[in-house]
Structure 1
Amino acid sequence: MTARSVITESKPPLPLSWISIGFFAAFHILAVLAVGCFSWSALGVALFLHWLFGSIGICLGYHRLLSHRSFQVPKLLEYAIAIIGALAIQGGPIFWVAGHRLHHAHTEDEEKDPYSSRRGFWWSHIVWLFYPRPEFFDYKQYSKFAPDLARDPFYRWLNRYHLFLQIPLAAILYLCGGLPFVIYGIFLRSVILWHSTWLINSATHLYGYRNFPDIKDDSRNLWWAAILTYGEGWHNNHHAYPKVAKAGLRWWEIDVTWWAIKTLQLLGLAKKVSMPPTR
Structure 2
Amino acid sequence: MAAIIGFFIGHWVLSAFAQTFFLHRYASHRMFTMNAFWEKFFHLFTILAQGPSFLNPRGYAILHRMHHAYSDTELDPHSPHHSTNFFKMMLKTKHIYDDYSYGRVEPKKHFSGDTPSWPIVDNIGKSWIFRVLAGAGYVLYYWAFVPQGEWGWYLLLPLHWFMGPIHGAIVNWGGHKYGYVNFSKTKDQSKNTIPFDFIVLGELFQNNHHGRGTNPNFAYRWFELDPCYQVMRALQFVGIIRIMNTLPVEENKELELQLSA
Identify the TM-score tier after normalising by the shorter chain: 0.7 to 0.9
Structure 1 portions without partners, runs of 5+: 1-38
Change (3 A) 1:104 1:196: same
* Matching residue of 1:101: 65
Q: Distance in 1 between matches of 2:10 and 2:219?
A: 22
Give the residue type in structure 2 aligned to 1:274.
Answer: N
* Matching residue of 1:149: 115
* Structure 1 position 191, deviation (Å): 4.5
Is residue 90 of structure 2 the alignment partner of residue 126 of structure 1?
A: yes
* Matching residue of 1:35: none
TM-score by length of 1: 0.72
Cα contact 2:236–2:242 (8 A) shared by 1: yes
| 1:202-260 alpha-carbon deviations (Å, 9 max, x no partner) | 12111111111011111111113412211111101101122221111112112111111
Cα contact 1:261–1:270 (8 A) shared by 2: yes
| 2:25 equivalent among 42, 52, 64 | 64
Is residue 203 of structure 2 the alignment partner of residue 232 of structure 1?
A: yes
Between 157-166 and 229-238, report the one with greater CA deviation: 157-166
3-state DSSP of counterpart to 1:249: coil
Q: Distance in 1 between matches of 2:19 and 2:173?
A: 17
* Matching residue of 1:139: 103
Cα contact 1:95–1:159 (8 A) shared by 2: no
Cα contact 1:93–1:158 (8 A) shared by 2: no
Cα contact 2:86–2:169 (8 A) shared by 1: no
* Structure 1 position 74, deviation (Å): 2.1
Is residue 92 of structure 2 the alignment partner of residue 159 of structure 1?
A: no
Instruction: State the identity as a percent.
Output: 21
CA RMSD of aligned residues (A): 3.2
Give the residue type in structure 2 aligned to 1:261.
Answer: M
* Structure 1 position 266, deviation (Å): 1.2
Between 246-255 and 158-167, report the one with greater CA deviation: 158-167
3-state DSSP of counterpart to 1:259: helix
TM-score by length of 2: 0.77
Give the residue type in structure 2 aligned to 1:69.
Answer: R
* Matching residue of 1:21: none
Give the residue type in structure 2 aligned to 1:46.
Answer: F
* Matching residue of 1:205: 176
Change (3 A) 1:262 1:190: farther
Give the residue type in structure 2 aligned to 1:128.
Answer: K
3-state DSSP of counterpart to 2:175: helix
The total of aligned residue pairs comes to: 236
Q: Distance in 2 between matches of 1:123 and 1:208?
A: 21
| 1:265 equivalent among 236, 257, 260 | 236
Cα contact 1:210–1:220 (8 A) shared by 2: yes
Q: Distance in 2 between matches of 1:190 and 1:134?
A: 17
Change (3 A) 1:131 1:170: closer
Cα contact 1:117–1:124 (8 A) shared by 2: no
Q: Distance in 2 between matches of 1:173 and 1:260?
A: 31
Q: Distance in 2 between matches of 1:109 and 1:215?
A: 13
Change (3 A) 1:167 1:219: same
